[in-house]
Amino acid sequence: MIQVLFFFFAALAVGAAINVLVQKHVLYCALSLIFMLTAVSVLFILLRADFLAVIQVIVYAGAIMVLFTFVIMLLNLPADEDGADRLRWLKFIGIPLGLFLLFLIISTLWNVEPPRAPSTQLVGSPQAIGTSLFSDYLLPFELTSLLILIALIGAVVFAKKDL
């Protein structure tokens, strides 16, 4: 049952990810990306990481992508017809870089131990994540918060020129 669900949603996620690249219209790209993120969150649920799955939807699909979609809608960008021509020289950089990324992914996956069967317990429970965030990963957590705070203040300064 879980395997059927896994292959179904994995296929959905991959399909949506490819669609992000293939689509000409920016809005369709953004919507496919939302679809992909939601499908990935189902994969998290199958790995018994409910909290991560829900946070994935709230943060990425619900918050960040909403802003993306809004900018696209407000600018009302036309479908990207002749963009490929202008960026032709990018192919010469893009193909080697893509191959390099592919090599990195494959070499990493090669060394990964075979995945264990998903445990029956909730490994990604809010308690577990909270405890590890505030003990093992306290410094990165606080630094990230500081970074976000700086970005927030920066955004306010940009938006309001006469403070």
Partner 1 sequence: MTEYFTSRDFIVVIVKIVVIFGGVMGALAYLTWIERKVSARIQMRPGPTRVGPFGLLQPIADGLKFLFKEDVIPTNANTFLYVAAPVVSLIAALLSFSVIPFGPWLQVTDLSVGLLFIFAIGSLGVYGIALGGWASNSKYPLMGAMRSAAQMISYELSLTFSIVGVLLIANSLSLAQLVASQQSTWLGFIPRWNIFLQPVAFVVYICSAVAETNRTPFDLAESEQELVAGWHTEYSSLKFAMFMLAEYANIVTVSALATIMFLGGWSGPLFGPGWLQAALPTVWFVTKVFIFIFFYVVLRWTVPRFRYDQLMKFGWKVLLPLSLANILVTSFVVAIS
Site residues, partner 1 (CB under 8 A): 1, 4, 27, 31, 34, 38, 50-51, 54-55, 57-58, 61-63, 66, 69-70, 73-74, 122, 125-126
Q: From the CB of 81, what's the least distance to partner 1, in Å?
A: 17
Give the residue with the Cβ less far from partner 1, 63 or 150.
63
Give the residue with the Cβ less far from partner 1, 13 or 34.
34
Give the residue with the Cβ less far from partner 1, 17 or 57.
57
CA-CA-CA-CA dihedral for 50, 52, 58, 64, to nearest 10:
-160
Q: From the CB of 1, what's the least distance to partner 1, in Å?
A: 5
Distance CA 139, CA 157 (A): 27
Q: From the CB of 126, what's the least distance to partner 1, in Å?
A: 6
Taking Cα atoms as reference points, which of 84, 82, 73, 81 lies closest to residue 30? 73
Q: From the CB of 68, what's the least distance to partner 1, in Å?
A: 11
Q: From the CB of 141, what's the least distance to partner 1, in Å?
A: 17
Give the residue with the Cβ less far from partner 1, 94 or 130.
130
Taking Cα atoms as reference points, which of 63, 86, 72, 93 lies closest to residue 25? 72
The answer to whether the CB of 38 falls within 8 A of the CB of 82 is no
Segments in the chain forming alpha helices (H): 2-22, 26-46, 50-56, 65-75, 83-86, 90-111, 126-134, 138-159
Give the residue with the Cβ less far from partner 1, 3 or 107.
3
